[in-house]
Structure 1
Amino acid sequence: MFIKKSILSLVVLLTCIMAGKAQVKIGFEVSFKEPQAHYAEVQMNISGLPKDYVDVKMPVWTPGSYLIREFEKSVEGFTASAAGKKLKVEKVRKNIWRVFSAKANDIKINYRVYAFEISVRTAFIDESHAFLSPTGIFMHPAGMIKSPSTVKIIPFNTWSKVSTGLPVVAGETFTYRASDFDILYDSPIEVGNQDTFEFMASGVRHEVAMYGGGNYDKEKLKVDMAKIVEQETAVYGENPNKYYLFIVHNFARGGGGLEHLNSTTLGASRNAYSTEAGYKGFLGLVAHEYHHLWNVKRLRPVALGPFDYDNENYTTNLWVAEGFTSYYENKYILRAGFDDPNGFVNALAGGIATVLNTPGAKVQSASASSYDAWIIGYRPNENSKNNSISYYNKGEVIGILMDLEIINATKGAKSLDDVMKAMYLQCKTLKRGYTDAEFKAMVEKISGISFTNFWAKYVNGVDDAEYVKYFGYAGVNVSTENATPDKPVTGASGQLGNEGITVTSTTRGSAAWDAGLNVNDIILSLDDTTVGDALTNIKLRSTMVSLESLPIVAKKKIGDVLKLKVKRDGLERDISLTLKANPSVRLKATIDDNASAAQKTVLKKWMGI
């Protein structure tokens, strides 16, 4: 009887707790009184949370973009009220507002957000549209990240559409629901008069919302984007969504993308769709961001979810999350029929050359680059190329080598595709992300060989890629040549100004580096010839100038001395550069028609066509 009463009491207590949680309701209304001034008006309604005070928090970063962006800096006019009476508000942290609610059951919070930064990761509003990147717009009550909420959008009077991956609230106009704040923060919203169209692929309804116009062909995009979706779904064996949204911002010159759980935001150039390179580039971006639907959003490093929205979330595995996605972008473009085998192998060879030609690749490892994304990757300075390497670029190279190593070791039976699918299913089963050790273990399980030395050299080390060896597995020959044979280089570049050329970068180990030419030095003359005279009759495409482009430098030989007069901090000084050979290389890949049967097996598995 005692046990029965105790169980009954516990059930009653849990029921009360659950009922209390169920009574809490959080809703937002977003309107636009002054879109031309780049403002959103946000009203947050909280009911069923009778406390002495309520802390509401705004994220300081957005998942997928590893930089503390301080979104709270754009918030102004924060006020709160209950039953028509103003409540006391105190800011207790950079991104936390404390509302002294005096146990009021219904609280109304109002604030404005200034949104004028064009990117796929930040909110932007003007008279033509509003792009709401949720981490920079919405707030959540402290400790209630798992609470559901609703969002009602009130478009400006000249706008007619809302596009978002959030499910609609039945019977309500432009009203959406989020099961928790992780979902809300992962669901961008486009408001305006965007051009929308749909296509079906892999059993999933896909919507494309185009802002900014452009010379795109909707019917062609429907077909070609579907091909990419189907190739990617084939790798993982399933598509986790029933609906997916592409928000595409077309600008005069645009680029970049940011992944979300069932959507993505892409930046594109509005008039590039009609060129072969531009169209292929857009499809490559589609392939990259769509691959994140699995890799990052579900197949993810353990540190990337659940998120801490107040602080950095460190991981050493962005080389997998982003680098492998960059690699797979090439595979999907090939498999979908938008590239040929020669284009594929040369695109990958070019990626390897990029890493070989970056001095920082010999300083920073892929795992360190991943970890330092917060302080270096998204905050580069004039020396970043000398002391760091992009985890996108290095991860792509690791993906190439790892894929070929697995295929070769298994005689064409397995590939990196099998690793990615297995890791996706593992994360799905365990309901958590993977550790670096778990990823390595899966690679070894699939391949049947040890990758300890591989990890030491390429993941945690800074060894140059043995590209001749790895490409050779697939019967692909790679030739290496100097980027500018017999031509001297200074290793410095700058921007043309009124006084001369202001140095913007110098390369580690170059003539400029060795001679002590500094960034911000103003080059006044070269071999006693003023910069103005040196540029006579030269047509520059931009104000950015490579010293090698100047005839006075181009006429010299390796080992010659170039005398510069520079101004540093208002004082003139002389610097002499002993010109060196260009350390940069170009790689050219060629598929061997006389490759062995084993090599052809590797090549076929690698390409997947």
Structure 2
Amino acid sequence: MMIKRTVLGLVLLLSISMTSKSQVKIGFEVSFKEPQAHYAEVEMNVSGIAAKNYIDLKMPTWTPGSYLIREFSKSVESFGAKAGGKDLKFEKISKNTWRVHNVKANAVKVNYRVYAFEISVRTPFIDKAHAFLSPTGIFMYPDGMIKTPSTVKIIPFSTWSKVSTGLEPVKGEKFTYTASDFDILFDSPIEVGNQDVFEFDAAGVKHEVAMYGGGNYDKERLKVDMAKIVEEGTKIYGENPNKHYTFIVHNYERGGGGLEHLNSTTLGASRNGYGTERGYKSFLSLVAHEYYHLWNVKRLRPKALGPFDYENENYTTNLWVAEGFTSYYGNKLMIRAGHVDLNGFINPLLGSVGTVLNMPGSKIQSVASSSFDAWIIGYRPNENSNNNSISYYTKGEAVGMLMDLEIINATKGAKSLDDVMKAMYDLYYKNLKRGYTDAEFKAMVEKVSGISFAGFWDKYINGTDDIDYAKYLAMAGFNVVNENANRDVPFLGVTTTRKDNKVVIATVLRNSGAWIDGINVNDELVSIDGAPAELAVERMAQITGKKVGDVVKVVVVRDGLKKELDVKLTANKAVRLSYSEVQNPTPMQLTVRKKWTGL
């Protein structure tokens, strides 16, 4: 009887707790009284809360997919709270937490304003033409209630008529949407204005494209070409997990970048870039990258990336898979969709390999460490970053290519990296419903390939070995050469920029003559061997008339003082890779090539 009573008591307690949570209602209303001044007015209503002395409301400090603490609370002002029409006392108890006191009423209304004037795919931006609501920079959440549903009502400015978002609409209520929890809300950007909207169907899913800013795009062409990318991505995983998907595209004079979301993405583009083949393919490549994220990262993810802690850094050593592999698959989707040929597929990959090899930081930082340090280095590089760090995007893309070729070669064309990603998706996202560890990813690679990847991990993931591009491309019957090999080209080892009509040193390359003999970043370059700065910069690539080992006199101004430095020229060791097909490829090389390229 005691056991039965205890169980019954637990059931009753659980039932009461669930009822209490289900009665909590959270609703937002966003309006725009002064969009020209870049403000959103936010009203937050919380009802059904148990009577208590206070409630803490928090603003996220970062946005998933962009690994930097951005302190969104800095843009919040005019915070106030009421219950039953009466003002409630509140205080700010941390950088992103407002504590509202005397919450003894059933419902609390909170009002605040958000200043939004940073153009990017990860931050809110508002002006008289439109509003882009990046949710982590707009919406607060009650502490401990991340899993609580909410509704969002948008009241467009008087001259605006459209809202585009991946959120689910509430039937019968105009511009009103619902989110099952704050993870969904924070993962659903909202575009408000007069954007040009068109649709296409692909993989059984309706896709909406919301174009802001105009541009020379061809809607009918985009519908066809974007659909091909969707179909090719869906083939890898055997399913498209969306009911609907929204592309929010911001077209500026010069735009770029993208941020992935669960059933949407925000893209930056150049409004007149669609008119050239290069610009058009660049946009499609961005589409391919961000769309592939709906499987890789938004569902199949490193263990640290969900459930999210929105107040602190979420560390992982696997962004080389999350982002680097997505860059690699952007290329694969492009060739499979027929948007690029063999050159268009291989040359960007060799470009990434070259970038890694040409960065001294690739000998200092591993790609696993680069992933972990994204929070302190990746999004805020300085003048020395090329010397002491490496991008998990670029090296991750190169690693993806090597791993893909290794798997294809080991299985004689039966398997590829596709099989690894699909197996990981099925096991960790669909079955175990959790993220993976680095060890688990490595184990799956070894299971699919049938060989050990211990050495690969030691060299390319946790180590800093140079990428053996010749070995891996040879597996597919390609010769790769460094066009700069055996060229003894002297160089100084700096890059310059213009500042206040002066030529200023921007970077100094590790172990170059400039590095060894003391040229500093921010030095004003006056002359090299008597040639004035402007002329010297034109000749800097090869230091006309000099050879490796020669000493040149460099005059700089540092902190207002003129300095003369003797700099010994070193050899420019930058690689430039090109490929050609092996003249008589073996049947195995042809098998690997076909599996790898799909051609």
TM-score of the aligned structures, taking structure 1 as reference length: 0.96
Q: 1:300 and 1:186 mapped to 2: Cα distance?
A: 15
Q: 2:340 and 2:376 mapped to 1: Cα distance?
A: 36
Q: Does 1:28 align with 2:28?
A: yes
Q: Which moved more, 1:33-42 or 1:6-15?
A: 6-15
Q: Secondary structure of 1:172's match?
A: coil
Which residue in 2 is equivalent to 1:12? 12
Q: 1:343 and 1:42 mapped to 2: Cα distance?
A: 47
Q: Does 1:594 align with 2:584?
A: yes
Q: Kindly provide the amino acid, as one letter, of the partner of residue 489 in structure 1.
A: F
Q: 1:398 and 1:497 mapped to 2: Cα distance?
A: 38
Which residue in 1 is equivalent to 2:383? 382
Could you tell me which of 534, 538, 554 is aligned with 2:544?
A: 554
Q: 1:571 and 1:283 mapped to 2: Cα distance?
A: 50
* Within-5 A mapping of 1:44-443: 44-49=44-49, 50-427=51-428, 428-443=430-445
Cα–Cα, structure 1 residues 312 and 547, in superposed 2: closer, same or farther, change >3 Å?
farther
Q: 2:68 and 2:218 mapped to 1: Cα distance?
A: 35
Q: 1:505 and 1:331 mapped to 2: Cα distance?
A: 34
Query: Shift of the alpha carbon at 1:499?
Result: 6.6
Q: Kindly provide the amino acid, as one letter, of the partner of residue 71 in structure 1.
A: F
Q: Secondary structure of 2:393's match?
A: helix
Which residue in 2 is equivalent to 1:458? 460
TM-superposition CA deviations, 1:468-492 (whole Å, max 9, x none): 1111111011111218944321111
Query: Shift of the alpha carbon at 1:559?
Result: 2.6
Query: Shift of the alpha carbon at 1:14?
Result: 2.4
Q: 2:591 and 2:74 mapped to 1: Cα distance?
A: 56
Q: Are the equivalent residues in 2 in contact too, given 1:488–1:557 (CA < 8 A)?
A: yes
Q: Does 1:509 align with 2:516?
A: no
Q: 2:169 and 2:314 mapped to 1: Cα distance?
A: 31
Which residue in 2 is equivalent to 1:582? 572
Q: 1:500 and 1:252 mapped to 2: Cα distance?
A: 27
Q: Kindly provide the amino acid, as one letter, of the partner of residue 574 in structure 2.
A: S
Q: Are the equivalent residues in 2 in contact too, given 1:325–1:396 (CA < 8 A)?
A: yes
Q: 2:374 and 2:431 mapped to 1: Cα distance?
A: 29
Q: Kindly provide the amino acid, as one letter, of the partner of residue 93 in structure 2.
A: V
Q: Secondary structure of 2:576's match?
A: strand
Q: Which moved more, 1:476-485 or 1:120-129?
A: 476-485
Query: Shift of the alpha carbon at 1:562?
Result: 2.0
Query: Shift of the alpha carbon at 1:215?
Result: 0.3
Q: Are the equivalent residues in 2 in contact too, given 1:342–1:590 (CA < 8 A)?
A: no
Unaligned runs of 5+ in 2: none
Q: 1:484 and 1:156 mapped to 2: Cα distance?
A: 64
Query: Shift of the alpha carbon at 1:593?
Result: 4.6
Q: Secondary structure of 1:214's match?
A: coil
Q: Secondary structure of 2:168's match?
A: coil
Query: Shift of the alpha carbon at 1:6?
Result: 4.3
Q: Kindly provide the amino acid, as one letter, of the partner of residue 451 in structure 1.
A: F
Q: Are the equivalent residues in 1 in contact too, given 2:55–2:103 (CA < 8 A)?
A: no
Cα–Cα, structure 1 residues 484 and 339, in superposed 2: closer, same or farther, change >3 Å?
farther
Query: Shift of the alpha carbon at 1:321?
Result: 0.4
Q: 1:10 and 1:558 mapped to 2: Cα distance?
A: 81
TM-score of the aligned structures, taking structure 2 as reference length: 0.97
Which residue in 2 is equivalent to 1:477? 479
Q: 1:325 and 1:518 mapped to 2: Cα distance?
A: 37
Q: Which moved more, 1:11-20 or 1:91-100?
A: 11-20
Q: How high is the sequence identity, in percent, across the aligned residues?
A: 69
TM-superposition CA deviations, 1:349-369 (whole Å, max 9, x none): 121111111110011001000
Query: Shift of the alpha carbon at 1:498?
Result: 4.7
Cα–Cα, structure 1 residues 256 and 499, in superposed 2: closer, same or farther, change >3 Å?
closer
Cα–Cα, structure 1 residues 129 and 483, in superposed 2: closer, same or farther, change >3 Å?
farther
Could you tell me which of 556, 564, 567 is aligned with 1:566?
A: 556
Instruction: Tell me the matched-pair count.
Output: 597
Query: Shift of the alpha carbon at 1:346?
Result: 2.2
Q: Are the equivalent residues in 2 in contact too, given 1:487–1:554 (CA < 8 A)?
A: no
Q: Are the equivalent residues in 2 in contact too, given 1:101–1:107 (CA < 8 A)?
A: no
CA RMSD, Structure 1 to Structure 2 (Å): 1.5
TM-superposition CA deviations, 1:223-246 (whole Å, max 9, x none): 000000000100111111110010
